[in-house]
Chains A and B, each alone.
Chain A
Amino acid sequence: MQADNEQINPLQLVLLLMNAMIGVGVLVVPARAARPAGSAGWLAVILAGLFALVLVWLIARLCQEFPDKTIVEMAIDLLGNNMGVGAVILLLLLWLLSAAFILRTFGEINRDFLLPNTPIEITILGILLAGGYLARKGIEPLARLGQFSLPISILLGLGSFLLSFPGADSTNLLPLWGRGWQGVLRGAASTNFAFVGYEVLLVLLPFLNKPKRAKAAGLVAVGTVTILYTLLTIVCLAVFGACSTAKILWPTLIVARTIELPGLFLERIDVFIYTVWLVQVFLLQSIMVYVLSLLWARIMKIKEHKILVWPLVPVIYFLALFPLNIAQLASFNTIASVSLTIYVLILVLGLSLLARGKGGKARA
């Protein structure tokens, strides 16, 4: 089947972007926010979300200038062949690292909660293979699967969280400013890790069948994720208090364990949370593998991204195994995500300026 005529509609794009963001970050958001910001963690999340909104808007604006081109072609157009390819290769590497470390983080969480004795190499490999399988099929099936599963995930996930409200103490959200505005800022910087993902728009825009809706799609996606994260952080803060939220590594999952519904058959709601979260991670990996293989294919000017998927898998795999322990992993995660965001910002702003400059001549 042809892969060239693949199209996605704006709704699918929104869901894809959301899928690319909600993966592992969702589990650490409350902790990363609460550690520097205290009880104002949710403000930190909103701040990080606002920043992401701005960035995604910039990305969408840039991409809309070149509706049929991915970032690769854009960079080559504006920076010339050598510099353009170089810029994109750097992007590819940063993305690669980001994806690999997120994968490893998933492996660690999986080991903590679900499979303590299974070697992490196997679980990571499992996801990669599944992701590769799906990535080979192209963007449409990915979009469809995302469309199918994300609403269910959000419903189940959100529903489960709202159930923890009886155990929550809303006074835990005081004092309002937590540890002060510096704390909020640092919290926002730390939480940025959870928002990484919307940059895939740089590569996905050509598939959108209504390019004019890109900005709206990006804003809706990031906005929804921000709201979700904020709600999540509020719930965690209310249930645990700021100090515990900061101490626990994965507050999201632990919150699920505090929900107690004595009358119901299911004592433990966390089954649903795990299910939902696992599906999200699988989807995220598929999207990342797809994007990476597409990017690589475009750099090497190969038409079909499919053949690059299996070669890409071992690269991600070995990178994921690189960090020695979870402490190293946390810092790698932060470094990778911050570098990625900053680089994307620079790249997008730079290219936008150049596009403006060439605008007069290029439109002829």
Chain B
Amino acid sequence: MQKPQPLLKKDQQAPQLPLYQSLEQNLDRVRAILGDSNDIVIREFKLGTKGHKAALLFVDGLIDKALVCENILNAVMIQVRQVEADGEEQLSPQELLTLLSERGISMLEIKTSDDFDRIFLAALSGEAILFLDGVAKALVISARGWEYRSIQEPETQTLIRGPRVGFTETLRVNTSLLRRYLRDPNLKLKTIYIGRRSKTEVCIAYIETIANPTIVEEVNKRLATIDVDAIMESGYIEQHIQDDWISPFPQLQSTERPDHVVIALLQGKVAILVDNTPFALLAPVTLNDFFVSPEDYYERWTIGTLVRLIRYLASFMALILPALYIALVSFHPEMIPTKLVLSLAAGREGVPLSAFLEALVMLVSFELLREAGIRLPGPIGQTIGIVGGLIVGQAAVEASIVSPLMIVVIAFTGISSFAIPTYSMAIALRILTLPLMFLSALFGLYGFILGLFLIGGHLSALKSFGVPFLAPFAPLSIKDLRDTLFRHSLLGMHWRPEHLKTQDQTRMQDLRTDSELAVEEKEKSLAQARPRGGKS
């Protein structure tokens, strides 16, 4: 395998292919490498009364045309005319270039470059390149502007209460969304390019005074090892840098919501934003993070707690229900209440399949219906879900292929898996249902517990960027438990999660007591104790 190529950082200068002095030669080279594509435009023009030859290189469709015309072409052509018209001596090409960049072009970002690699990358990213005859340098002018989706609420993560804002496919828009929430100068956004052919812009975001530097370093290190052709989506990056590729559990969290990212950053996590996808990655994550939605914090704590508990319950049910059913029904019917056992037996009278196969058939059909519902457009898809569920299920019962209770069990399992806020976690649990069912079908309750134990063991050993996956349940941190199954009142959440080992532990004061006396006391003790260290 080849050694991974070093990535190009934005400001890195490593000239491989220097520019020529002659415009003609530069343009020849450009045409040779960038070739016959119709959308690559070279606009040649002359400047000033002396007719300096110049050319503008850009990719049609990636630039903001109006801006380029107004602020580059127009400005340049006029400005130089004025300078040289005053009768001064002819400027040297170098001086002309400097003049243009310092006083002529009224665009926001201008850099100089003498390296073709950098220039091509810039041009293909939507910058405009200005070549001048006689100078072995070119101006790289930021002129990006292309069609992108407007900011809408993300479809996969809708909230009842909260901003209806989601990331889009343009990195710059996404970073701007982050900045809107955090006007903290410590919010750092570092960009790198990943992918040999795609050279996708990837931005690492973190709050410098909060995030643990070890974690940031680890993220950087892992990103540097990625050597692929192209990064299509953040998922590619996720799969390259995760700790354990075999595990069904996700070790990074993906989200479309900027507020979710910001909450994570404030906890001390690192976010990875990728161009061309609205899904950002968050690392490190723990099991609990997959059951948390930003909405929990926007509503009051009683609601947040209730919803969290429901989610945990749902995920538990989604995982164990079919397997538990199989274990009890096929192996230990003495543990089921008598009346239920008798009606169960009655229901299963004509069914030819064993409980395990019955469950398997129903599960597979359910998944088929679900997939079909996703593929079909709009209302047809939803109808299929309902039609499939009700009618086909009913028909199956009457044809004695499955028993009625099995339908209930599978329906509950399916619905429970929908209640889990993160898709990747829901999938993980759905996947794990199968081996659990298999073990239950072989060994009953013993097999069921064996399966759970193996899953538990796997989870205990799983780490995400050095953070144990089961934190804060294990290693135990009672403080942090307040934000897991229950959602503590915001007034009392004045620390950051312990497992992230952040630099600044205190978010705010503990505001739970609201008697005036207590507030006075606090102010007094604050004044005495200043400056506070990193203790909560």
Contact = CB atoms under 8 A, between A and B. Distances in A.
A296 B127 CA distance: 65
B457 A130 contact: yes
B312 interface: no
B445 A274 contact: yes
B450 A126 contact: yes
Interface in B79-121: none
Interface string B422-458: 0000000000000000000001111101101110110
Interface stretch (B275-283, B466-474, B514-522): B466-474
A110 interface: yes
Contacts of A142: 460
Interface string B312-352: 00000000000000001001101111100000000000000
Contact of A279 (B328, B337, B449): B449
Contacts of A9: 475
A145 B474 contact: yes
A318 B460 CA distance: 29
B474 A148 contact: yes
B137 interface: no
A286 interface: yes
Contacts of B445: 114, 271, 274-275, 278
Of A1, A134, A141, A275, the most chain B CB neighbours within 10 A belong to A141
A130 B435 CA distance: 14
Nearest to A285: B453
B1 interface: no
A268 B333 CA distance: 11
A134 B470 contact: no
Contacts, number: 101
B529 interface: no
Interface in B466-491: 468, 470, 473-476
A93 interface: no
A35 to B, nearest CB: 28
B484 to A, nearest CB: 12
Interface in A126-161: 126-127, 130, 133-134, 137-138, 140-149
Given A114-B332, A144-B474, A147-B476, A134 B446 contact: no
A250 interface: no
A35 B14 CA distance: 85
A141 B460 contact: yes
B443 A147 contact: no
A213 to B, nearest CB: 15
A167 B468 CA distance: 44
B55 to A, nearest CB: 55
Contacts of A138: 461
Interface residues of B, number: 30
A364 interface: no
A123 B443 contact: yes
Contact of B449 (A133, A141, A267, A282): A282
B457 A148 contact: no
Contacts of B473: 147-148
B463 interface: yes
Nearest to A8: B475
Interface of A: 1, 9, 11-12, 110, 114-115, 118, 122-123, 126-127, 130, 133-134, 137-138, 140-149, 265-268, 270-271, 274-275, 278-279, 282-283, 286
Interface of B: 328, 331-332, 334-338, 443-447, 449-450, 452-454, 456-457, 459-461, 463, 468, 470, 473-476
Given A12-B475, A115-B444, A142-B460, 20 more contacts: A9-B475, A12-B476, A114-B331, A137-B461, A138-B461, A140-B461, A141-B460, A144-B470, A147-B475, A148-B456, A148-B473, A149-B456, A268-B334, A271-B328, A271-B335, A274-B445, A278-B449, A279-B452, A282-B449, A283-B453
12 contacts: A110-B446, A114-B444, A118-B443, A130-B457, A137-B460, A147-B474, A148-B460, A266-B337, A271-B335, A275-B449, A278-B449, A279-B453
